[in-house]
Amino acid sequence: MTLPPDTPDLTVSPGLLTDRYELTMLTSFVTDGSAEHPAVFEAFARRLPEGRRYGVLGGLGRLLPMIERFTFDADEIAWLLAEGVINEATAEYLRDFRFRGDIDAYPEGDLYFPGSPVLSVRCTLGEGVLLETLVLSVLNHDSAIASAAARMAVAAGDRPLVEMGSRRTHEEAAVAVARVAYVAGFASTSNLAAGRRHGVPTVGTAAHAFTLAHTSEVEAFRSQVEAQGVGTTLLVDTYDTEQGIRNAVAVAGTGLGAIRIDSGDLADEATAARRLLDELGATGTRITATSDIDEYVITALADAPIDGYGVGTRVATGSGHPTASMVYKLVAVADAPDGPLRPVAKKSHDKVSVGGRKTAYRTHDDGVLTGEWFTTGDAVPAEATPVQVAAFRGGRTVHSPDLEAVRAHCAAALATLPPQARSVAAGPSHLTVTEGATS
């Protein structure tokens, strides 16, 4: 009946969630014989969004099962042929295609910085190009949200955050937003599909429409308390907030769970609300603030008597940075099916990359992250901490932590940042990842 936690939706085939040129390139590789040549692809970000000190990797737990299911059915292949995207030899290649390679990855919820090799894909040239668009769609979207959500969660400290931005983004993106905001430290979401598919705790009580639909605010509160109990959250600002609070306590009693304020100057409104609630004896009733909340507002409201926040638009749109600008690059390729890998890198203009497969490691000082480096070998210095985990081996997922473990990993990773890197104030990336010493 209930799906196991963090089960991705399995009904949509991901094979065509890709750019035509991936199939066009594959067609050339099949035609010129290089589709089976060994290759290494790498996903990384050249930079963080302006002013951000760190990024948080999101989406790996959604991506890996989609890679397992990345196939093409007969109808899709017929369509690709009819559209002239592929030729008959490529159709033959796709008929039994599935990704059979190996993937190393940063764990979901971990930090990343400019140059961090967050995903390293060892496969054939044909396999590697086919995955590009899907890898980037998932990692760029989910990492943008995770990175914004982590800043909000860090700013909020012990005050719980509810993700409620579903209405501000694509209906399926909304589910991914809810999932990854939870990874980054949000307490819950309004999105029911995220609850069902991924096990994210869901919350929600009522909108202004609920009050308006009744003949009076008192009637609305009575109806809600009757259905939900006095522990519910009553939305008190439909007509007049002071009267709304008086009505709320009159209906629910001093055991009322919480009130929600969704308009006005939130510091002033919360201060007045706290005073009135205390006067009325509802000293245990919590105050939840919603309406244009983000990491900056949360920081500014640090001294206001607010017990929790609902965050909508700003988390669902990455707080000004809705995509993480990761790229996926070929970094090594062999010139024969059994040939040696040669590092490759595009060199024109400012887009310089380092070729070759990379192994990342970190250094810490008393628990604080002091450096992140990569080597182009397999080994890292003895005192360093490796970052990557084996995610895929021989075409199968070998890394599938449950969502609570991913969330705990994220919290632990954020705790390694020094105070200035955890600040919401604009600043440079805490680190830039470059080639370091080998062991």
Residues 116-145 that bind a copy of itself (CB under 8 A): 125, 128-129, 132-134, 136-138, 140-142
Six token digits for residue 189? 């979401």
Candidates 47, 95, 98, 167: give the one binding a copy of itself (CB under 8 A): 167
Q: State how far the Cα of 160 lies from the Cα of 146, in Å rounded to an integer.
A: 16
Q: Is 32 in the site for a copy of itself (CB under 8 A)?
A: yes
Q: Is 251 in the site for a copy of itself (CB under 8 A)?
A: no
Which positions from 270 through 309 interact with a copy of itself, judged by CB under 8 A?
none
Six token digits for residue 272? 């007045």
Residue 166 DSSP label? G
Ranges assigned E (strand) in 38-112: 38-45, 55-56, 102-105, 111-112
Which positions from 312 through 371 interact with a copy of itself, judged by CB under 8 A?
313, 316-318, 322-323, 325, 328-330, 333, 335, 344-351
Candidates 69, 214, 393, 422: give the one binding a copy of itself (CB under 8 A): 214
Per the CB < 8 A criterion, the answer to whether 48 and 113 are in contact is: yes
- Binding flags for a copy of itself, 55-84, as an x/- string (CB under 8 A): -----------x--------xx-xxx-xx-
Closest Cα partner for 122 from 395, 399, 389?
395
Q: State how far the Cα of 27 lies from the Cα of 83, in Å rounded to an integer.
A: 13
Q: Is 264 in the site for a copy of itself (CB under 8 A)?
A: yes
What 3-state DSSP class applies to 234?
strand
| Closer of 98 and 170 to a copy of itself (Cβ) | 170
Site residue total, a copy of itself (CB under 8 A) = 110
Q: Give how far Cα 290 sits from Cα of 36, 192, 221, 433, Å.
A: 54, 19, 19, 38
Output the smallest distance, CB 348 to a copy of itself, in A: 5
| Closer of 271 and 323 to a copy of itself (Cβ) | 323
| Closer of 78 and 437 to a copy of itself (Cβ) | 78
Candidates 47, 100, 171, 400: give the one binding a copy of itself (CB under 8 A): 171
Sign of dihedral through CA atoms 94, 95, 101, 103? positive
Pick the stretch among 106-114, 150-158, 293-301, 310-318 that binds a copy of itself (CB under 8 A): 310-318
Candidates 5, 46, 68, 205: give the one binding a copy of itself (CB under 8 A): 205
Q: Is 382 in the site for a copy of itself (CB under 8 A)?
A: no
| Closer of 245 and 417 to a copy of itself (Cβ) | 245
Output the smallest distance, CB 293 to a copy of itself, in A: 15
Pick the stretch among 222-230, 362-370, 394-402, 410-418 that binds a copy of itself (CB under 8 A): 222-230
Q: State how far the Cα of 230 lies from the Cα of 232, in Å rounded to an integer.
A: 5
Rg (CA), the chain: 25
Q: Give how far Cα 419 sits from Cα of 295, 367, 425, Å.
A: 15, 12, 11
Q: Is 397 in the site for a copy of itself (CB under 8 A)?
A: no
Which positions from 92 through 121 interact with a copy of itself, judged by CB under 8 A?
none
| Closer of 10 and 437 to a copy of itself (Cβ) | 10
Q: Is 88 in the site for a copy of itself (CB under 8 A)?
A: no
Output the smallest distance, CB 190 to a copy of itself, in A: 4
Q: Is 202 in the site for a copy of itself (CB under 8 A)?
A: yes
Output the smallest distance, CB 97 to a copy of itself, in A: 15
| Closer of 292 and 370 to a copy of itself (Cβ) | 292
Q: Nearest-5° angle of CA 343, CA 64, CA 186? A: 115
Six token digits for residue 343? 């590092």
Q: State how far the Cα of 147 lies from the Cα of 318, in Å rounded to an integer.
A: 7
Candidates 68, 230, 263, 385: give the one binding a copy of itself (CB under 8 A): 263
Output the smallest distance, CB 56 to a copy of itself, in A: 17
For 269-290, letters b (16+ CB in 10 Å) and e give: bbbbbbebbeebebeebbbbbb
Q: Is 208 in the site for a copy of itself (CB under 8 A)?
A: yes
Pick the stretch among 26-34, 298-306, 388-396, 430-438 that binds a copy of itself (CB under 8 A): 26-34
Per the CB < 8 A criterion, the answer to whether 184 and 410 are in contact is: yes
Q: State how far the Cα of 347 lies from the Cα of 353, in Å rounded to an integer.
A: 7
Find where tokens 């397999």 sit. 378
Q: State how far the Cα of 80 lies from the Cα of 291, in Å rounded to an integer.
A: 46
Q: What CA dihedral angle connects 13, 14, 16 and 20, to 10 degrees? A: -170
Six token digits for residue 398? 């070998």
Output the smallest distance, CB 317 to a copy of itself, in A: 5
Candidates 19, 36, 68, 402: give the one binding a copy of itself (CB under 8 A): 19
| Closer of 324 and 417 to a copy of itself (Cβ) | 324
